[in-house]
Structures are given as C-alpha cells and as structure tokens.
Structure 1
Amino acid sequence: MATGVARADDVTLRLPAPTGPHHVGVTALHLVDEHRADPWPDEVGAPRHLVATVHYPSRDVRDRPVAPHLTPAVAAVLPHFHQPLPATGVAWGATLTHSRTDAPALPGRRPVVLYSPGLADPRALGTTTAEELASRGYVVVSVDHPGETMAVDVPGRPAPRLFALPGDPSTDPRLYRDVIATRLADTDLVLDRLERWAAGGNPDADGRALPADLGRSLDLRRVGLYGQGLGGTIAAEAMHEDTGRRVDAAANLEGFLDYHPERPGQDGELLPVARHGVDRPLLLLGTEGFQDDRYRRAWSAVLAHGCARQHVIADANHWALTDHAAVVPQLHAAGLVDDAGRDALVGPIDPAVSVPTVRRHVVSFFDRHLR
C-alpha cells in the first residue's frame, strides 16, 4: 500500500466552513473499558480502547492551532478503502478543518450528540456536520471503533491500529451481529465517561488536561445520537435499547435496520428497533442512489410504529452524508475522479446543495428535540 509523498502540484482539498455563530474548538479523548476485552485484539487480553474527537463552541480560538482533517495514518489508507478515490495527485494529509485544537470552551450548558461513522470509516469523515453542530451550540463527540476502522491512532501505541475484523461483516451474518453488539457497548462506554466528565472527573484514560470549562458545559439531560451507514444503525438501535433513557433523539443517516440474511435471497431478521419501534424521535435520512428494497422494507417497519420520520435526498449517493459530499466533487473537477466514480460515492448532486441539505436536516432535527 503506497503512502505517497506529497508533491507541489498535488490537489489540496477544502472543507466547507460552519455557518453558526460560534467559533469551534476541538479536542481528543482516549477512553478505556478495563472491564471489557477488545473483541478484535492485536494482543491477548487487551481491554477495549476507544478514541474520540470532541467539537464544541469556543470562546476564544486565538493562538490555537487549526486541526488537520485526517491523521497521517488515515490519509495513507483512505483512498484504498474508498475506491475510486485517487491514491496519487492529492495531498490527503494537507486538508485543514475549521476547528482550533484545545481552545477554551464557551461557558454555558450545551446539548450533547454522539456520532458513529460507517463500517471501516474514520470518525473524521463526519467533520463537516460535527463542526456545523458545534458552531450552533452543541458538543459533538465523534467516536472511532478500533479494529473495525481503517486506521486509528491510539495513544500509547507505537503504530496505528488498522482494520482487523476476522472476515467481511457484509457476507458473515454472525460477524455483523458481533460488530453491532460491540458498537452498542462502545456507545454505553462513551455515555458513562461523559457522565464522569460532567460530574467533575477526567474521562481521559491518560489523564490529559482537557479544555477549560468543557466538562461543565455538558448537559446530559439533552443527549442525541447520530451516525452514517453502520453508525446510523447503531444510533437507532442504541436509542431503542436505552432503558435508562439517557438518549432523547437519534438520527440514522442511511444505516441498515436489519441483520444480514443467513442465506442469499432471504430477508434478514429486523433489528429490534425496526420490529418494535421507538418511543423517542428518530430521523431516517437517506440518499436516492443507495435506497433499495432492503432499506425500504426495514425503514418502512420502523416508520409504521410512529416517532420516526424519513427524508431521501435526490441525486445523491451514500457518502454524500459525509465529508465526501464536499471532497469528491473537487476531485471530479480536477479530473482525478470520473463521472461514474463521483456518482458511485456521492451522486451527481452539487455540493452547494448536498452539504447544506444534510446539515439542515441534522441540525433542525436536534434543535427540535434537544432544545
């Protein structure tokens, strides 16, 4: 796998700026569940480690460095996981976000939303929407799930953790169930550590100093979940299983709501959220290019129970719900991705339409149910 060395004529990609009234700060969290073994370990008996990014409104970003979009490890492998992204001709590690590292938090109590990415995708691919939410007064916690993410830099490790699932969840129904169970447990861990942080403790496993006032700003009486792809599956199912009612609303950005079928040609068993519905608000946000009979069957089942609503974005495809909405059209304009590649990833939709559309649906949904 070529990591590539940036050349002077490589394309540098740009992310759209958030449109809310607040500056955005960003920090990282390293979380460890000492009571749960990692299901995809690279060392026997290792506890479960998670790494998260926290975006939040900041009162002052002066003299704080701008955060990069991708770590070097993710930049090296992203085009190999998301073909037909080009491995050369792009300075994948040069893209900057609109967030400032460890900037002081803006005082005030803030609703909290957790983001889970698609299978193998890094949490960084949700930056555009996370920054938009933070600029509008939310604290956003985006979580990587090591072992099933293409690359994760875990503190204390000499090298990044790479994708390490023992098979392909899309063709192994049992593995797919195990991945879902793991992510649901990961979500519980994050919520537990946020409660510790809001109570005045330090949730970071390494005791790293966290931005001033950020812990006090967490209003855990107002919590939402959202995710794209498998992350959307987790957002919906985690809210269904949330008997302690820690979660108030969830948004599923085109995640399956059934298990993979045991045999080809069969329908998969519906997830509990689709079989029984939810008693709290659920948004189903999809794209015209990715919807098929499988989605329609499972999504129709949960919609029939009430408390859920659906919107499908025309002329878009699956990764238009991520930062690729802005990135892939730039590659297309530079001649690095052809029409078929663009359409397979994000569809022919103009990013001037797709980016604000996704932001508007997610922000308005949480504004309605968390404010």
Structure 2
Amino acid sequence: MRQFLAVVAGPAVLTALTTLAVLAVLTVSACSTPTPPRTGAPSVTPTGPAALPAPNGPHPVGTTALYLKDTSRPDPWNLDADARELKVTLWYPTGRRDGPRAPYMTPEESELLLKGKGIAGAPYDTLSRTRTNAVKDAAPAGRRLPLVVLSPGFTEPVSTLTSLAEDLAGRGYVVAGIDHTYESHATTLPGGRVAGCLACDSDTDPGFGTGVVRGRAADVSFVLDRLISGWGGHGLIDRTRIAMAGQSIGGAAALAAMVEDSRVRAGIDMDGTTYARIPRSGLSRPFMFMGSPQHVPGGRDASWDRDWKRLTGWKRWLVLSGSEHGSFTDSPLLEDALGIRNPPGVLPAARSAELVRSYVAAFLDRHLKSRRQPLLDGPSPRFPEAGFCPGACGRS
C-alpha cells in the first residue's frame, strides 16, 4: 500500500518496514488486497507545500462543510454516543472566482494523520499547508445539479480525495465527501472536537469489512436525506441524478450503498475489495471498477470477479498499469511535500491524477448527464495505461 507511506533510509529502514507491515494489515482487513511492501526506497528532501492541480471545466469551485447528526441510530464505534455525527464536505460550482481558498485540512488533522501513518520526514503541519483551488464558503451557483457522493479509504479523511472533488465541481457537479467518523485518524467536529480512529482497534475482527460498508451505506442514505431536502436552497440538487464513488473501502461502500439505496443511480469502486453481496437477481444500474494491477481478472483479489458476474447493467472494469493503491487519491500529489520519492515504474503524480479525473468524469457525464463518452468504449491512445477487462487488460 502506498497511501502516505513513510519512506526512510539507513538505520530507520527497520522502523519503516514495521510501519508498512501495519499498513498492509489494515489494507487486508478493510480496504483491498495490498501491494507488497516496498523496501529500501530512499527519502528525499521535502519540497514545501504541495499544490493541487487546477480543476477542469468552466466553473469556479466553492466548498463548505456541514455537520450532521443522525439521531435515529447510535454510533457504531463510539459506545458512549447515542447518535451518529458526520462531517460532510461539499464542493460545487460557484460564481465567485476570488476569495480565500479552503484549507486542505487543519494542522491538528495533518499531525494526527502523519503520526497515524508513521511519517516523520516532514513537519507535521505539512498537509494543512497544501494549496487547494476551492473558495471557502462561496455561494453555490446553478440549479438541478447532479450529485456525486465520495467516500475515502479506511483511516483516510475525505480531504484525500480533494483533487477529484474539485475537478468534478468545476465540471458542474455537486460533490458531497463524507468523513465517516471514527474511521479515520482525525475528523474535526463542532466545537473543535477531534474524533480519532476508534475503528482501528477492530480492523482485524471477523466480518469487519462487511460491517464497515454496511455502516457507510447507512451514512450515505442519511446524508442524501439531508442534502436533498435541505442544503443550498430548493432546486440546487437534482434528486434523480445521484452517483457515488470511493477509494479502497470507500469504493466497496459505493457498491453497498447502491444495493441498499435505489437513489444512487451509478457507482465507481476505485481499487477496493468489495464486501456487500449483490442480490441473485443482479444489480442493473451502471457500475465501474477501476483499479491497480492487483485487480486483473483472476488476480490476487477475487471479489471483483465474483461481483462482475452479478452486474447486469452497463459496466466497465479498468486496470491502470503503473498504478498503486494510493494512485486513486491525492497521495501521489503530496509525496514531494512529504519527502517521499516516486519509484521507477509507478505512474507520475500528475499522470495518475489525469487518468482518474478523466475516467471518473467520463463515467459520470455518461450516466448522469447522458453525454456520449467514447473514452469508455475501449482502449484509447490518449491513455494507453488504461486496460479494459476482462479482456486484454494486462497482468502483473
């Protein structure tokens, strides 16, 4: 696994390998079959704050945070909480081009995330200084906009999908990124409370992944209830055009949410082992698997082979050569700032972001905006890294 990996040299190599082993356990139990730990990769001098690439599309991007409380159910991780609290970050088109850019995360969130991942080569507030593109608390613009829900990987805040979220908002989507409380190293709640990863204490329990995606599906349904009925004024969101995408166990949650909630018309799983069982009658709504080479048919993760057979509607299965588990997040874009070297053979940060943005947007444009997308019809000379499975999509 390569999401925010600690890469050190010399006497610290043993410590790094221990950290990688821990991350691999998390990946097996809750995210996806892991990429074998990399050994001996040297660190480099951190370059200073990272900057996310500008969004595509014609619209300036705004962002704001909502704090929601579901009093109909207790929190699955915090036994002292009789309601489920969620932080939802929204990205959307706005008419405002100037204004303060939203922080990527707070300094405390940055510190807790880097400590949780065992990264000590850069100042702990490094991620909080990442430059984003969205104007903080700008007023939304438009009517009846399609909605995309994003769900991050286990232990990750939804801010690690900011580049994708900003890009989709620039293309005319409302994006709702859910921080699933107590499932990441840091989630800031009202009053400055910071929720840590209580779920990390249970990640090796039998049935953990199944329980996580079930809980995340409930989170999604609750958020949809609140967004459709309340946020942003009447008519901002088109309740008939809703999709979901996620990375790692967030991708597995996208499939689970579609099984449980028919309002989610289309879904994308980015490199996540799936846990929800598709009914025997199948799932007829559009779905796309997009992953690293470990997800080739017959590969190390058999869950996609199983579920592919029960996807009875429009479907695609893409494998990106040179990608790793973290390639579907902001992780590669942040490596220079963290002093982590991109090894040979792995997609460069800008290229992985371009691939993910392009194929996710093409899928959503086709299924939420009814726009023909030749990019999804087969291999493209523009993106030779994208192999279409289960045919000749490569094996590594």
User: How does the TM-score come out when normalised to structure 1?
Assistant: 0.80
Write the distance in 2 (CA, Å) between the matches of 1:291 and 1:81: 30
Aligned residue number for residue 222 of structure 1: 241
Write the distance in 2 (CA, Å) between the matches of 1:89 and 1:145: 23
Write the distance in 1 (CA, Å) between the matches of 2:105 and 2:90: 15
Deviation at 1:277, TM superposition (A): 3.7
Distance 1:36 1:256, change over 3 A: same
Counterpart contact for 2:110–2:124, Cα < 8 Å: no
Counterpart contact for 1:240–1:277, Cα < 8 Å: no
Write the distance in 2 (CA, Å) between the matches of 1:297 and 1:279: 21
Which of 31, 55, 67 is the aligned partner of 2:91?
A: 55
Counterpart contact for 1:116–1:144, Cα < 8 Å: yes
Write the distance in 1 (CA, Å) between the matches of 2:296 and 2:117: 19
Aligned residue number for residue 4 of structure 1: none
Deviation at 1:275, TM superposition (A): 6.2
In the alignment, is residue 175 of structure 1 matched against residue 175 of structure 2?
no
In the alignment, is residue 272 of structure 1 matched against residue 305 of structure 2?
no
Write the distance in 1 (CA, Å) between the matches of 2:266 and 2:365: 10
Three-state SS of the structure 2 residue aligned to 1:216 is: coil
Write the distance in 2 (CA, Å) between the matches of 1:90 and 1:337: 16
Three-state SS of the structure 1 residue aligned to 2:66 is: strand
Number of residue pairs the alignment of both structures matches: 322
Counterpart contact for 1:119–1:230, Cα < 8 Å: yes
Three-state SS of the structure 1 residue aligned to 2:134 is: strand
Write the distance in 2 (CA, Å) between the matches of 1:29 and 1:118: 20
Distance 1:69 1:275, change over 3 A: farther
> How is 1:205-216 mapped onto 2 (pairs within 5 angstroms)?
215-216=234-235
Deviation at 1:255, TM superposition (A): 1.2
Deviation at 1:294, TM superposition (A): 6.6
Aligned residue number for residue 274 of structure 2: 257
Once the two structures are overlaid, the 10-residue window that deviates more, 187-196 or 75-84, is: 75-84
Deviation at 1:82, TM superposition (A): 3.3
Write the distance in 2 (CA, Å) between the matches of 1:61 and 1:319: 30
Which of 324, 327, 333 is the aligned partner of 2:331?
A: 324
Write the distance in 2 (CA, Å) between the matches of 1:236 and 1:176: 13
Distance 1:310 1:60, change over 3 A: same
Distance 1:22 1:338, change over 3 A: closer
Deviation at 1:290, TM superposition (A): 6.7
Consecutive unaligned residues of structure 2, counting only runs of 5 or more, are 1-45, 370-396
Three-state SS of the structure 1 residue aligned to 2:84 is: strand
Distance 1:12 1:297, change over 3 A: same
Distance 1:286 1:103, change over 3 A: same
Consecutive unaligned residues of structure 1, counting only runs of 5 or more, are 1-8, 203-212, 259-270
Deviation at 1:168, TM superposition (A): 3.8
Three-state SS of the structure 1 residue aligned to 2:73 is: strand
Judging by fraction of residues, say which structure has more strand. Answer: 1
Which of 297, 307, 312 is the aligned partner of 1:302?
A: 307
Tell me the amino acid that sits aligned with residue 183 of structure 1: R
Aligned residue number for residue 70 of structure 2: 33
Distance 1:139 1:287, change over 3 A: same
Aligned residue number for residue 40 of structure 2: none
Distance 1:122 1:89, change over 3 A: closer
In the alignment, is residue 186 of structure 1 matched against residue 219 of structure 2?
yes
Three-state SS of the structure 2 residue aligned to 1:29 is: strand
Deviation at 1:282, TM superposition (A): 0.4
Counterpart contact for 1:275–1:301, Cα < 8 Å: no
Three-state SS of the structure 2 residue aligned to 1:25 is: strand
Three-state SS of the structure 1 residue aligned to 2:91 is: strand
Relative contact order, higher structure (CA 8 A, sep 6+): 2
Write the distance in 2 (CA, Å) between the matches of 1:89 and 1:55: 26
Aligned residue number for residue 92 of structure 1: 127
Counterpart contact for 2:249–2:274, Cα < 8 Å: no
